Amino acid sequence: MKKALLYIFGILALITIGTSIFYWVRKKNALQHYVSVESQSVIAVSLDDIVIDNMDQLFRDRKNNEDFNYQFSDSLWFDLWNSGLKIPAKVYLFSIKDQAHTFYSIQQVSNQKKWKDFLHKYSEKPKETEAQNDPSQIINLNKYVYLIHKNDDVILCFSLDTVAFDKTIENQLLNKENWTAVKDLTGFQETYFSDHITLWNASANLNLKAHISGKDIKIAGSWTTKNTFKHDYLSRSIAIQDKAVIFSNSLPLSGFPLLKTAMHQFLGIDSATLTTENIDYMDFTVTNRETLQPDTIITYDYDENFNSVEKKEIRQIPVPLIEGIWKADEMVGKKFPNKIFYTLYQSSQNGFTSYSTDETSLQKISYTMNENASPLQLYLNFSNWPEAWSIGTLRHLKESNLHVTIQTNLESSNQIAIKGYIGYRR
């Protein structure tokens, strides 16, 4: 009996030691992952650590959630996972200059048969490049993901903007003289990337970490800038009970190129105006309630002589209740649009401009401001998501009751602490 127990314990010990060595070797090999020498930001995704730390949850989901398994097996990410690419312990993605909203990841093909099957599924053109002296190939996988493929080298590209073919960037990325092991990247320290998902930006001194535990993700980080923040920033008191979205910001837009781009695209305010730092405060809320707005319906009919006649009919249609306020100088205030998908009614009071899709609610918007509250915050509660917007993926997020909370605190005159949570509350 003792010999049997010793034999079993010996086997378990060998398995544990072997697994630990395998894990350690994969972790060290991941430091050889190539990135661009011109990398501006780096994202690290620790695949091995995520799987190991969530092993019980993965087995539970596989057993109990057939719908999720079906959706994943029919997705692009499942195809990439089984595409024949080498799967490292940690995947590194990087951005380059003037491409802040696009991240790239250099990968190698390890299984040619699987890779050819993957290319056959997603290629719209023959695999042979039209130019015989140019063996590279660009394949659009969807609106925001594409890959550059040359021999056994593959560069995956993920963009927040609609991606477009750019031969200059392609040549720059495929040039191996521009590659370096991530461990040799200027300013790189392995301790920066100790969590499940990490974003590091040396120039902006930005470090964000995300830890995944089941269906919950905890976010923590810091941002140090060359600018000095004022301490007397404000944040409006907003009740969260019926809110699907709450966003507020009183920090300079120069530190948030993504926010500035979003304001340019959705509000139509030119980037030069936004760069002048003349927006002191802004917030935006969406509730689970609806209001009515007039909408003109144009139809065409024929008169007795069979001539086309245009008819206009004004109907009252339900739209989500969107509200917010902002404080800016007169130049920006004049450029604020009165319609973004829906009509936005506006009113000014004490230097603030309020806006709403419901004209009668303008006078009810609270102007109560809290000093030294979170200068930048985001709150999403998909259980309150407007029914009119609940289509496709957004419908799934609403049914899953996704919650997102991001808050910031001023640690010093030029440093901001960031904390957040993402999770499903079924």
Dihedrals φ, ψ of 415, to 5°?
-130, 135
Same domain, 105 and 41: yes
Task: Write a three-state SS string for 121-148.
Answer: HHCCCCCCCCCCCCCCEEEECCCCEEEE
Q: Which two tokens stand for residue 55?
A: 């092993």
Question: What is the distance of C-alpha 376 from the center of its chain?
Answer: 17
* Residue 10 within any structural domain of the chain: no
Q: Which of 294, 352, 295, 280 is nearest to 323 (CA)?
A: 352
CB atoms within 10 A of CB 270: 10
Residue 302 falls within a domain, yes or no?
Answer: yes
Same domain, 165 and 313: no
DSSP 8-state assignment for residue 109: B
DSSP 72-114: HHTSHHHHHHTSSB---SEEEEEE-TT-TTEEEEEEEBS-HHH
Q: Which two tokens mark 21?
A: 């060595």
Whether residue 100 sits in one domain with residue 247 = no
Is 304 strand, coil or helix?
A: coil
Q: Which residues contact 54 (CB under 8 A, 6 or more apart)?
A: 212, 213, 214
Instruction: Tell whether 23 is covered by a domain.
Output: no
Nearest CA among 53, 104, 117, 112 for reference residue 86: 112
Phi, psi angle pair for 254, to nearest 5°: -60, -25
The beta-strand segments (E) located in 197-350 are: 197-201, 206-213, 216-224, 234-236, 243-249, 279-302, 308-328, 339-340, 342-343, 345-349
Query: Are 247 and 283 a contacting pair, CB within 8 Å?
Result: yes
Would you say 267 and 339 are in contact if contact means Cβ atoms under 8 Å apart?
no
Q: Is residue 204 assigned to a domain?
A: no
> Quick one: 178 and 79 in the same domain?
yes
φ and ψ of 122, to 5 deg: -105, -10
Beta-bridge partners for 316: 294
Dihedral, CA of residue 310, residue 314, residue 317 and residue 323, to nearest 10: 120
pLDDT tens for 66-122 read: 544 445 445 777 888 888 888 888 899 998 887 777 899 999 888 888 888 888 888
Is 11 a member of any domain? no
Examine the domain organization and report whether 237 and 331 are in the same domain. Answer: yes
172 and 283 together in one domain = no
* 150/137 Cα distance (integer angstroms): 6
Instruction: Output b/e per residue, 160-186; b: 16+ Cβ within 10 A.
Output: eeebeeeeebbeebbeeebebebeebe
User: Cβ(377)–Cβ(248) under 8 Å?
Assistant: yes
| Residue 94 sits in the same domain as residue 187 | yes
Question: Do 92 and 58 fall within a single domain?
Answer: yes
Asked whether residue 93 falls in the same domain as residue 45, the answer is: yes
Q: Which of 162, 193, 224 is the last residue of a domain?
A: 193
DSSP H helices in 108-249:
112-122, 167-174
- The dihedrals phi and psi of 30, each to the nearest 5 degrees, come to -65, -25
Q: What is the pLDDT of residue 130?
A: 44
Summarised one tens digit per residue, pLDDT across range 26-68 is 777 777 888 888 888 889 998 888 888 887 766 665 555 554 4
Rg of the chain taking only CA atoms, in angstroms: 26
Res 128: pLDDT: 44
Amino acid at 61: D
Query: Is residue 243 domain-shared with residue 179, that is, in the same domain?
Result: no
In the three-class reduction of DSSP (H, G, I as helix; E, B as strand; rest coil), residue 365 is classed as coil
Closest by CA to 115, choosing from 144, 159, 81, 138, is: 81
Tell which of 161, 193, 225 closes a domain: 193
Q: Strands of 225-276 (E only): list them.
A: 234-236, 243-249
- Residues 285 and 392 placed together within one structural domain of the fold: yes
- In a domain, residue 246? The reply is yes
Of 193, 223, 256, the position where a domain reaches its end is 193
Question: What is the domain range of residue 65?
Answer: 34-193
Cα-flanking dihedrals φ and ψ of residue 383, to 5°? -70, -25
149: helix, coil or strand? strand
Residue 116 belongs to some domain of the structure:
yes
Does residue 278 sit in the same domain as residue 160?
A: no
Q: What are the average pLDDT values for consecutive 10-residue runs of the chain, which has 426 residues?
A: 67 70 71 85 88 74 52 67 85 84 88 87 56 66 83 86 66 84 79 82 80 90 78 76 90 70 70 66 89 81 73 84 84 72 84 87 77 82 91 86 91 86 81
Quick one: tokens of 101? 């909203």
Q: Count of domains in the chain?
A: 2
Measured between its terminal Cα atoms, the distance across the chain in Å is 48
In a domain, 12, yes or no: no
Q: What is the C-alpha separation between 36 and 202, in angstroms, rounded?
A: 14
